[in-house]
Amino acid sequence: MREVEHNKLQIREVVGKGGFGTIYRASDGVTSNLILKTMMKTPSRSMEPVARKEYDFGMKLKHPNLVRMRGSFDTATDHCLVMDLVEGCNLFDHMQKNSLGYFVENRAKRMFKGLAKGLHHSHKFGVAHLDIKPENIMVGKDDHLTLIDFGLAAETLGLCHQFSGSADYASPEVWRNMPFEPACSDVWSLGIVLHILLTGCLPFNPKGVPNMRVQPDLFWPEDVNVSDDAKELVGWMLELKPMARPTMREVLNHRWLKRPISAVFKRRWSLGKLDSLNKP
């Protein structure tokens, strides 16, 4: 793997641990806004291909709504990746602190549009994220969203044979353990995130996704205002058939993202009672 001046890196604190290794906040003597991700070398499982893939994909992507990869190196015990620190907190925690539990539509649109631009950029350069969820989206200053953690990413060219991700956000085709179009799967996951931004809840019970064979009825809380245009886009992104979903370019060109919310362009609103799919 490509060498960087890792001898200048200073570890500040542990910020996270996972199945692959440990994540540290670090500095290089010039900036303290770096993340060091280590993947332990083990005799039983080589992490080098995983680390190399994340590094190679990360170096392709340069967009304000995507985490920026800065370098990589090996030590005697670990494969290491260096990337920019993304300030803020993840979207899941951010929404937990939100008194409403969701965002009013105009705010949700502004937040989502940047995220959609980032994913469009990623797909344009041949990289599907494959683990889009609120925990992998950072909320920064002025509601700026940044997609992080490309550890499960795959090429968009050709079918994917990687059946992993997060259960509540994985597309039906991932659950079927059959080769699938990775970019289409990303669109499904992002559609669920958009629904959560607008309502604060999941669009359906995720337990039904593995055996989903018919188009699901989406749950729209009755006392949360969501325009028909927004509902239409979410429904399109959550089409059961992967190839019936929009590309990220089509998402960005959808009228909900093109039109301002105003008295002129506002379509019919739905009103009613808020409920949660997660209630026992």
- The rounded distance, in Å, linking the Cα atoms of 133 and 150 is 12
- The rounded distance, in Å, linking the Cα atoms of 203 and 249 is 23
Tokens of 49: 């291909």
Which one-letter DSSP state was computed for residue 142?
G
Q: State the residue for tokens 């995220």.
A: 115
Q: Is 88 left (phi over 0), alpha (psi -120 to 50) or beta?
A: left
Q: Does residue 84 carry a catalytic annotation?
A: no
Asked whether residue 117 is marked as a ligand-binding residue, the answer is no
- The rounded distance, in Å, linking the Cα atoms of 54 and 240 is 29
Q: Which of 131, 149, 186, 229 is catalytic?
A: 131
CA–CA distances in Å: residue 198 to residues 21, 219, 221: 34, 12, 10
CA R_g for the chain: 20
- The rounded distance, in Å, linking the Cα atoms of 57 and 53 is 6
Active-site residues: which are they?
A: 131
Which residues are documented as binding site? Answer: 37
